[in-house]
Every structure is written in structure tokens, then in C-alpha cells.
A and B are shown apart, each in its own frame.
Chain A
Amino acid sequence: MKGSKTTKKTGKVTPELLRTAKELGYSDYQLARLWNASEEQVRALRVKWGIVPVFKTVDTCAAEFEARTPYHYSTYEEENESVRTDRKKVIILGGGPNRIGQGIEFDYCCVHGVSALREEGFETIMINCNPETVSTDYDTTDKLYFEPLTLEDVLNICEHERPDGVILSFGGQTPLKISGSLEKAGVPILGTSPEGIDLAEDRERFGALLRRLKIPHPQYGTASSVDAAIRAAEQIGFPVLVRPSYVLGGRAMEICYTPDAVREYMKKAVDVSPDHPVLIDRFLEDAFEYDVDCVSDGTDVMIGGVMEHIEEAGIHSGDSSCILPPVILSEKSLQEMIGYTVRMAKALNVIGLMNVQFAMKEGVIYVLEVNPRASRTVPFVSKATGIPLAKVAARVMVGKTLKQMGLDTFDFRTVKYTSVKEAVFPFAKFPQTPVFLGPEMRSTGEVMGISEDYGMSIAKSQISAGNTLPLKGTIFCSLNDSDKTEFGLGIARDFHRLGFRFVATEGTARFLTGGGVPCGHVFKVNEGRPNVVDMIKNGEIHLVINTPMGETSRQDEYSIGWAALEHKVSFITTLSAASAAVRAVQAQRAGALTVKSLQEYHLQNGKSR
């Protein structure tokens, strides 16, 4: 048995051994771990011994014919087939494998960045390792390196290509992770500096900046013990949003309404330590949320678009549906948001794209989060307005100004139609997982509905998302107490007026009947038979409006959600989405389905601009 013998160090590493290790694909990081050294030390030794990768060409013919397309991969061999040109060149780092929260949107941004820089006369070099993407099509860029996006692999390419600049802000979070180390290694970074990125990401520093700029933000704190967390939450005021600062195993964030809930959360969050504290934010309940995407060139800031979330605060922005231009936002509040955005872009010295998430509660605008990079919503905004934001940003990063492009006075509100983005979820693939939305993002994709009519845009987005709304029939409604409001009643009345019938469990039935909406009674799952799940299975329910009531009735809600999913019954979990759904049904009943191309929509905007 080996084991004890191999822990004994029998000698020093030789160039031959190191070379073999590299040929077998070992990373500097692994070697550093095995030798109790730092990654830099391994790299330095490797370079000293001349053990550096060569780049081979993917040529379809095993080198039998000469290849013309520069599509490369690294390996440890003799001959280098990647020829460095004398052209001005920019490397763009891609987003790596798709995952929930980072997907195709970043491929879109990379491809746009590349195409703008090619037009500007640069040689464009892409690094990415995701085979599904357009960015790894050798037709997209001048040169493609199909390589991992780790520091070691990226540095190897940078050392070979010696680019004039590297763009990190199009590939989502992936390239940002190595921004500091790349800068330290002397790689020229285009766009917002790693310092600006850090300033936006570091909670303390960013908080201080917002206070200096006099921009409101929700109260926040950190804690690394149960008691400290409860103290912090009490100081901030309930409800609070609690999440780990360091996501290990992806523990979800949670909204806590009581000290007990915080205690429960902390008990589950076993890995909390002073190094990895828990972050606690004031949760702005019932606030409206907004996303802003902008491009800054250092002098001017162009607001690409402001999106209003349809679901209220508490649902991850990637899971929320949103609408552009906003429907309920006042001119005053909009100007305030734009003003804050411009101030922050300047304070962070943003060159290129920036995304801001705002919340509005009782007339006050709060900043929730700022990301000085391409965001998930960039493609949606670009299609909704006709301005290709990622291209504009790429040009700005290589020195063009918004004025030169005639975009310094662009107003996204000149659009003559409404665009709605809706998220798409994989719940049907994962039986037994809760179907209610929360602060943890779970959608895999998105769709867009466009029309001159708000209701029709919603309707189209729902059809595209596979959640086609019924135009008549029976609605099962179950509202939690805080939704038993005049607003909730108004929605029910609208559906009633459209000829829908209602059934509900006891409390909601009483509330609806009391408000003048006739409503039948149906059993909860455990109350008796036939119950609501039976009705769904029998095809007697055509729409479910179920706003979650919390822990006690969760099991009931899951089985209702599951039955609805399985039998393809439209399912709504928030009042605001229900209100949008009424409008969608009205629009579909009023008019025929119409189709229009993006080119036609954008031409309309052009005429008015």
C-alpha cells in the first residue's frame, strides 16, 4: 500500500518531470498545491525552464493541408502554429460554461463587442471554452483560442499575443474574477479599471461612496455569529434579506421577518466564519424594482434603457419579468434614477457598460446593486430600443466618445411600443422543487413580447414562455392576507367582468364574495375531496392565482403548483403578475394576433429620433 511512502519528499522537481506534468494537463495551481508553493512560483520556474505552451491549429485535416483559419488550442509540444500579427489587437474574454445566472446574454455581448472592434480596425481575439456559443465560432473573430478562462491559460495567451488591450466586462462574472491578477501581471485592461470594479463590489467601500454621493441605499450589516446576526437584523429593522458573502454549495438567500427566522438561517449556514460572514440587508417589502443599463465614456453617460420589474421586490431580477419603457414610474422618479446612475458611473470611472438595480418605496429611490460590466439585460434593452449597447460600449472602450457616435442625447423613451421580458423556468424537469419565486435565481432563459399595446406584449411574452393565459374559464384563487387588498379585489373584478368564474378556499372566497366577486368554495388539499388539486387534474381550473402564504401552507401550495405544471394550467404567484395577466387577456380578447418585425419597429423609432 502506498500512501505513507509518497508523503516523503525524495527530491527536487526536474525540468523533465515538470514538462511531463504540463503535457498531462496539470495546471500550475495543482502543482503549487502539490508542492506547497504559490501559483506564481510554479509559473516562474516553468518560464525559467522554458516550459511554455505552444498553440496548435484546429485545421480539419490533421495538418495534411495548410490551414487558414486561426482557431487554436494550447498544448506542451515543440512547434507553435499560432502566428502573431503586427496589427493592433484586442483580446475579449468570454463567459465560460452556461449556468443559471450567466448564460447566452454574455455570449451576445462578446460577439457584439468583437464585431464593433473589427469594424474599428482591430484584430479581435476571443478566448472561451463553451462549445455551444457563437463566440467560439471561428467565423466570429479574427482569432479564436478554445481555452479555459483561468489566470494561467489567459496569461499564456496574453504573453504570446501581447494585445493592446483585454476586455473583461462582456463575459459576465467569469473574467472579473481574474481582473486583479491580470492587471498585476501587467496586462492592459480596457474599460472600467479593476479598481472601479472592486469599488462597486466591495460592500464597505461602495456604501461609503453612496453616502458621499448622497444616494440612498437599504441599511446593511454583516455578521459571523448567530447573536451578531440577530443584533444586526434588529438594528437594521425587519424584514431583512440574509445571504452568505461567500457562496459555497450555493445556499440560497432568504428573506427573514423575525429574529427566529434569522436564527434558523444561521443554523443552516454552517460555514459562516469571520472570513466568510453573512450579509444582512434591509428588505424593502412591496417596493418596485428597476434595472438601468447605461454606457459611459467618462464624459457622457447614455441611459440605454430603464426597465420596470413586474414582480415586486424579493424576486431575483433575473427571474422577474420586466417592461420597457416603465409604466408606473413618474417623471420625477425617473429623473432621480437617471441622476443617480450618472453620478455613480462617474464616481466609479466607468468606461463602457454599467447596470444598476434600484428599488422604489414610498417615493424614495434606493440603489440595490451596481455592476460596472455587461448585464443580463443588455440584449433585451438593445432589441427593445434598437441601440446595440454592447457595440457602443466596445467602441467607447477603445476611445470613441458617445458624442462622436451621436448617442449623447439618446432618449430611450422615444420607443413607440412596449417590450416585455419574461423568464422561463426548468421546474418541469425537477419534480419536487418549490415552484415559487424568490431571491435566488432559477430561470434558465427568457423570452420577449413586443407590441404597441402593453397587454398584448404581456400576452405574447406569456405565450412564448409556455404559460399561455386562458381567455375564459375558471380561476382558482388563493391570496395571502397582505394581498387581500383593494388592488387584489380590483384584479378579481376585472377577471369577473371578462366572464371568468372564481373558486377559492375559505378565506379568499369570503374576501372575494365580500368585495362583490361571486366565488365558489373549494377544499384545500387536506380539507376533503374533491379538492383544488382534483379540480386541476379534471381540467376544471384554467388559471391559478396563488400568492404564497409562508411555511404553514407550503405543502398545499407545492401540490397545487405541481398539479398546475403537470396539467399545463397557467400559474401566477404575485398580484402584480395577475394584474398584468388581466391586461393580457383583455388585449387578446379585443384584437387579433399581429406580428411585426424588429426592423419595422426600429424604423418607427428612427423616424421620431
Chain B
Amino acid sequence: MPKRTDIKSILIIGSGPIVIGQACEFDYSGTQSCRALRQEGYRIILVNSNPATIMTDPEFADATYVEPITPEFVERIIEKERPDAVLPTMGGQTALNTAVALAESGVLEKFGVELIGAKLDAIRKAEDRELFKAAMDRIGLQSARGGFVNSLEEAFKIAESIGFPLIIRPSFTLGGTGGGTAYNIEEFEEKVVHGLTASPIHQVLIEESVIGWKEYELEVMRDLKDNVVIICSIENFDPMGVHTGDSITVAPAQTLTDKEYQTMRDAARKIIREIGVETGGSNIQFAVNPRDGRLIVIEMNPRVSRSSALASKATGFPIAKIAARLAVGYTLDEIPNDITRLTPASFEPTIDYCVVKIPRWDFEKFKGVDDTLGVQMKSVGEAMAIGRTFKEALQKALRSLEQGRFGLGADGKDPVEVRSLPETERAEWRKRVLDRLKKPKPGNIFLLRLGFQLGCTVDELHALTAIDPWFLYNIKQLVDFEDELASVTI
């Protein structure tokens, strides 16, 4: 299908200030979509309140509004500029929420503005967990057991039927603000109350805990001809229970069997079709129970996300740019791949290397804050590295973080030098390391190294952390090789 000529001007909504959970990845997607759509000859109108972004540079749009991203202000902009369409899928949750508000209040209809990239129905189905669960049921996919509540009484009922631990997720908050895990009734009450307050619609989702399950993400794209491509699979090193934004993540997925991976791919295609995202990219999160292989769908973002920025950099496939073109009517087979120029965007990327992303936290700036990682994202940035193997990429990513580390330990920054530790102190250190590893915290990756140095086994560390044995073996192999290195001189 050729590009649409019935629309001439497009309003792109940005994501506003950098906050935890919504950072400069949306400047990347916004900048790409501005560039791509201007090249196609559309008049671009942009709104973003964040002056530090590249997309708000006057040269990236025909009209750049550095104004608040609220329905009131965006309505003024629409009234003044009269765009034919609005593209809300490039600016994170902020853009999506604003567009939904404008659609629901009738503003878009009043000014004859079409929502492109994702239709209101699809956004609702993906974002409203109740509708999403129902949709998953329809296509025979499992999701976590649980339900939505608007009060503490309702919450207690669900708690009774499922049992602890339980995950509490407030509806419509950024990066899951106000969410958490409850292991007992007391904690549960506290977190539900907090979540109900944090949610703009005073609703929280209570779900069975899938803590310790393996976590995956697929980046999926679909066009108007119903072509679906999987751009990238991402595996979380840290199991379920730690927000993806706070997890070390690896692309492509490393520990799935081919059969498991194909099942997940099939599920992703069914999901994007059922939800009805017709043009663009989506991010779908899955969890796999390591004991029985049970696969459940966690959630879907019907827009570009933090993970799509990572997937774009990991594969060389520019998701936002292609998504912008799909939104104006192109199909995947009509868009050439920038890198090869020979293959179309409907060719799924293949990668012959390994990518590792590691988050960076700034807890020391916030006195009194618990640095345990959980379902609410706390990191402020991330580094990514590419290597031929997981080991190489991991070490490169660790030195990319710029926190004084030069790889997986052995850089003089470890709390203890195990090779010169007296035999008598080893048990004490071993206990200390194992104790610390019980909770997911920044820097645990270094403790895994210490654990192996102090004689822990893969099984032991797996039982404690639920990190997949494959990752642990890799770390163990680095530790063994380090001993070999330490046995020689220059």
C-alpha cells in the first residue's frame, strides 16, 4: 500500500521531562519519527515540554511547541494548527494518555483529527488489564491469575483466593509507581492503600506472584497487510520480580529451546492481531515457569518503549522510524532496510553477536531509600555493550557503566580479594555473600563472582537467586579463567 495522501499534517506528542521510567529513549523515537515523516513530505507539528531533547530543535519539525503536554494545552495546539492526524505512539505513556484523553473528550473528533499508529480500541485493549486478560483468554493464552480492585475489601477477597506472595500494581502510573510485592497481610494492606492513592483512577491490580520465573520480551511489528515480524527477543538475566528497566537484559534470548521460542513467537503474533495494533511496533512481555515451562503473558505496550530503543540498537533495525512509516500507510515489504538496502523491512533481523544491557542507579543521592530492586523501576540510566559472546558483552557493559568498574571484578574494586583471603575467613565471607544475594540489589552481579570464588555451586546460587543456570555457568567459567590468569605474570 502506498503512503497516505489524504493526510498532510501530523501532530507528534513527546514524552515530557526525563523521569525514572521514561527517559531519552523517547527523544530517540520522536526524533526518528519526525525525520522519517518529514522526509515523506508531511507537515510535522510537535509538542514536548522538555527543552533538553533533540526532537524539540526547531529544525526537526515545522512547528515545535515547547508547551505542557496536557489535554488542555494540546487541544489549543490542535485548534491552532489543525493537524490531520496525531501520532501518539512515540512519546511513551505520557503521549498515549494525552491522546486517549483527547479522543475520549471528543476533541479529536471535533477538529477532525485521526489517531494514527494505534487506534483507541487497540490502546484500550492493551492498556486496560481487564480487557487485556479477556483478550488473552479468547486466544487461549494464559495470564497471571488475579484481578482488579478499587478498595481494600475487594483486595482482601482476592488475596484469600490466591494466597501470598502477591504483586500489587496500581493502574495508570509511570514505571509502576506505588507498586510492590506483599508477602504477608500487613504488607499487603499497606501496599494496596499506597497503590490506590498513586493510581489516578484509584485502581490496583492484584496478581499471583510469578517471582523467580524467567522473563522475556519480544519486539513485534505489524502492518496494514497483516504482515507481522519479530524484531528481537530479549531475555532478562534477573528473573521476574525485578522490573525490566532494573534488570540486566540480554539479546537475543539465550536460554530458550527452539520449541519454546517458536511458541513464544506464535503467541506474540496472535497477541498483536487480537489486540488490533494495525500499524507499528509493540513490546510484549512473557514469563516462563522454569519448573514446568508454563508460559504466561505479562503485558503489552502498544507503542515504542524503552525496550524498542534497546532492540533497535541491538539489531540495527530502527523500530520507531519504520513504525512511523507504517502509521502513514506503508507496509513492511515496501520499506527498504537502511542497512542492507537490498532487503525490505519485512525481513526479520538476525544477529550473530550478543548484546547486554545493564542499568545504572543513583541511590546514594536519596537518603533512606531501600535499594532492593522490585516491580517499580528505580534506575536512572543504562549502558549497552555488544560482543561475540555473553561473557565478552557482559564485561564490556560493566566497564561502560562508568562506576569505577572495569569488568566483572578483578579490577581492585572488590570488597575482598578471595585469592589472598586466609582460609579461616572464607566461611564468614561466604555467609555474608550468600546473605546479600538473597535480595536483588544493584551490584549483585559482582557478588555472584565472589560466591563462585568462595566455592558456591551453580545449583546453590540458582536456588538462591533464581537466575538461570546458563548465566551462572558463564560467570563461573569467567571465575575459573580468572584463576588461570592470576597464576601467571606479565
Contact = CB atoms under 8 A, between A and B. Distances in A.
Given A23-B388, A100-B380, A131-B383, 6 more contacts: A35-B489, A58-B316, A58-B353, A104-B23, A429-B377, A447-B49
B349 A61 contact: yes
Contact of B380 (A9, A20, A98, A139): A98
Contacts of A442: 365-366
Interface in A399-451: 421, 424, 426, 428-434, 440-442, 444-450
Interface stretch (A69-77, A325-333, A349-357, A476-484): A69-77
A13 B488 CA distance: 5
B314 A11 contact: no
B412 interface: yes
B106 interface: no
A60 B340 contact: yes
Contacts of A147: 385, 396, 400
What 6 A-B pairs are tightest by C-beta distance, nearest first? A445-B18, A25-B395, A98-B381, A250-B364, A445-B17, A464-B49
Contacts of A67: 339-340
A4 interface: yes
A3 interface: yes
User: Max chain A CB contacts within 10 Å: which of B56, B57, B351?
Assistant: B57
Interface string B341-378: 11100010111110001001010111111100000111
B384 interface: yes
B362 to A, nearest CB: 5
Contacts of A567: 197
A103 B24 contact: yes
A248 to B, nearest CB: 9
19 contacts: A24-B392, A25-B396, A34-B486, A35-B488, A58-B315, A60-B351, A67-B339, A104-B27, A104-B52, A131-B357, A146-B386, A383-B58, A429-B376, A445-B18, A449-B68, A460-B68, A463-B73, A464-B17, A464-B69
Contacts of A17: 484-485, 488
A68 B341 contact: yes
B339 A149 contact: no
Interface string B32-71: 1001000000000100011111101110001111111110
B257 interface: no
B317 interface: yes
Contact of A98 (B56, B360, B370, B386): B360
Given A60-B316, A132-B382, A599 B64 contact: yes
Contact of B366 (A21, A107, A433): A433
Nearest to B454: A3
Interface in B382-431: 382-389, 391-397, 399-402, 406-407, 409-412, 418-421, 423, 426
A132 B34 CA distance: 17
A137 B32 contact: yes
Contacts of B310: 131-132
A460 B365 CA distance: 28
Nearest to A105: B52
B362 A99 contact: yes
B247 interface: no
A460 B339 contact: no
A64 B27 contact: no
A11 B487 contact: yes
B381 A130 contact: yes
A33 B24 contact: no
Nearest to A98: B381
B76 interface: yes
Nearest to B343: A65
Contacts of B309: 131-132
Contacts of A597: 45, 63-65
Interface string B5-28: 000000000001111110111011
Contacts of A24: 389, 391-392, 395, 478, 481
Interface centre among B19, B67, B401, B481 (most CB of A within 10 A): B67
B338 interface: yes
Given A60-B316, A146-B386, A447 B17 contact: yes
A198 to B, nearest CB: 20
Contacts of B342: 65-66
A131 B314 contact: yes
Interface residues of A, number: 124
A130 B382 contact: yes
Secondary structure of the A side of the interface? loop
Nearest to B36: A139
A503 to B, nearest CB: 23
A77 B388 contact: yes
A6 B63 contact: no
B175 A429 contact: yes
A463 B76 CA distance: 15
B31 interface: yes
Nearest to A600: B63
B110 interface: no
B31 to A, nearest CB: 5
Nearest to A45: B490
Given A111-B54, A129-B384, A149-B400, A30 B410 contact: yes
A150 interface: yes
A228 interface: no
B482 interface: yes
Max chain A Cβ within 10 angstroms of own Cβ: one of B194, B338, B366, B455? B366
Interface in A88-105: 96-100, 103-105
B83 interface: no
A131 B64 CA distance: 25
Contacts of A105: 52
B17 A463 contact: no
Nearest to A434: B367
Contacts of B384: 129-131, 146
A131 B484 contact: no
Nearest to B46: A597
A602 interface: yes
B402 A139 contact: no
A465 interface: yes
B488 A12 contact: yes
Contact of B350 (A26, A62, A111, A250): A62
